[in-house]
A and B are shown apart, each in its own frame.
Chain A
Amino acid sequence: MSDHQNHHEEQHEENHIVSPKIYAVIAVALLLCTALTVAASYVEMGPWNAVVALAIAVFKATLVVLFFMHIKYSSKLMKLTVGAGLFTFLALVGMSMSDYISRAWGSF
């Protein structure tokens, strides 16, 4: 069924094996980021504390998704799938917040 493969060609994942070296580098990076986020929480930054904490967390999650979960080496469909999850999650948070942030408007 070679036709079949041609047809799906653009969606084919390469059978990519990520080397242990990359895994080790990522693991070390994740541990360093953990230390960084703990350290950052002890620094007074006002509202930026939360932003920094989340930014580091997003960065760490991105590393895990890209390398540990092989998304960097996966097909467009997989990347799109991850994006769809993120999009729907943001829809849930964002649209809910549209209610919560504006409830008190105009009432004072």
Chain B
Amino acid sequence: MDSPTAALHEGTHAEHPSYQRHHFVTMAQQKESASFGMWLFLLTEIMFFGGMFTAYLIYRNWYYAAFVAGSHTLSIVLGTTNTAVLITSSFTMAMGVWCAETRRRGGLIVSILLTLALGLVFLGIKSVEYHEKWVQHHVPGLRFDAMTFVHPHAEPGQAAEPPLSLDMAEHTEVYFSLYFAMTGMHALHMIIGMGLLIFMLIKAIRGAYDNGNIAFIENFGLYWHFVDIVWIFLFPLLYLISRHQ
């Protein structure tokens, strides 16, 4: 591995690196354009999820009891674990960016592998949760039955959930619609991100980032952290509605 500081100085003072595109005057201009463009793309993502957050806010106020009941069917252990997993993957990704910036190829590869692994763990846990919903008939449209909320049955050793009126129980379908739409879109973003991670891994192993052309890694890092932020909001909104009841 090169000495990071020496490599850094070479990189920043090179006049026209080979990876500078023809229509940019300076490398700084190219780098700024790329990260600015990425941020604008993230704005579109904010608004994309924003539509669902708006829907969530409205229906949560309308059908609060249904949202509480729906939320209580989710496993807080799995949800918290997943939050920790995703935050850790954000950290490993940030470390990956740092390794790339300081030209540590080995560190970069390890970071990408860890991020990828944590992403897989997240999706694995998510699929366990989805499977549970399927078994419990909590998948809106395809396989849904609100009766478990009208006649809640107690697990041994636990108090039963308070029963809902039939009308309110049926509205848990709205909660689960939003649950699947929001976590599903989030998971889709994770899957896309993991595809890009694999692409990045192959390039990193081939040494494509050793010359300091790391805009892709930096911008992917922004994307990955954004996906993390979405989950940071989804977790309390979906899992933690009034757990004390």
Interface on A for B, CB 8 Å cutoff?
1, 4-5, 8, 11-13, 15, 17-20, 23-24, 26-27, 30-31, 34-35, 37-38, 41-44, 49-50, 53-54, 56-57, 60-61, 64-65, 68-69, 74-75, 77-78, 81-82, 84-86, 88-89, 92-93, 96-97, 100
Contact of B46 among A23, A42, A85, A96 (CB under 8 A): A85
CB distance from A27 to the nearest CB of B (A): 4
A-B contact count (CB 8 A): 139
Q: When chains A and B are docked, how far (Å) is the Cα of A77 from the Cα of B40? A: 11
CB pair A43 B25 closer than 8 Å: no
22 contacts between A and B (CB under 8 A): A1-B26, A4-B25, A18-B94, A34-B87, A38-B76, A41-B236, A41-B243, A43-B244, A53-B236, A53-B237, A61-B232, A64-B228, A69-B226, A74-B35, A78-B36, A81-B40, A85-B46, A92-B47, A92-B50, A93-B50, A96-B54, A96-B58
* A74 CB contacts on chain B under 8 angstroms: 35
Stretch at the interface among B95-103, B121-129, B159-167: B95-103
Contact of B240 among A5, A37, A78 (CB under 8 A): A37
CB distance from B103 to the nearest CB of A (A): 11
CB pair A12 B236 closer than 8 Å: no
Residues 59-73 of B, flagged 1 when their CB comes within 8 A of A and 0 if not, give 001000000000000
Interface on B for A, CB 8 Å cutoff?
12, 25-26, 28-29, 31-32, 35-36, 39-40, 42-43, 46-47, 50-51, 53-54, 57-58, 61, 76, 80, 83-84, 87-88, 90-91, 93-95, 98, 101-102, 221-222, 225-226, 228-229, 232-233, 235-237, 240-244
Q: When chains A and B are docked, how far (Å) is the Cα of A40 from the Cα of B191? A: 31
* Contact A34-B98, Cβ < 8 Å, known A41-B244, A68-B225: no
Closest to B91 in A: A27
* A34 CB contacts on chain B under 8 angstroms: 80, 83-84, 87, 235
* B244 CB contacts on chain A under 8 angstroms: 41-44, 49
CB pair A20 B40 closer than 8 Å: no
* B12 CB contacts on chain A under 8 angstroms: 15
* A43 CB contacts on chain B under 8 angstroms: 244
* A53 CB contacts on chain B under 8 angstroms: 236-237, 240
CB pair A97 B57 closer than 8 Å: yes
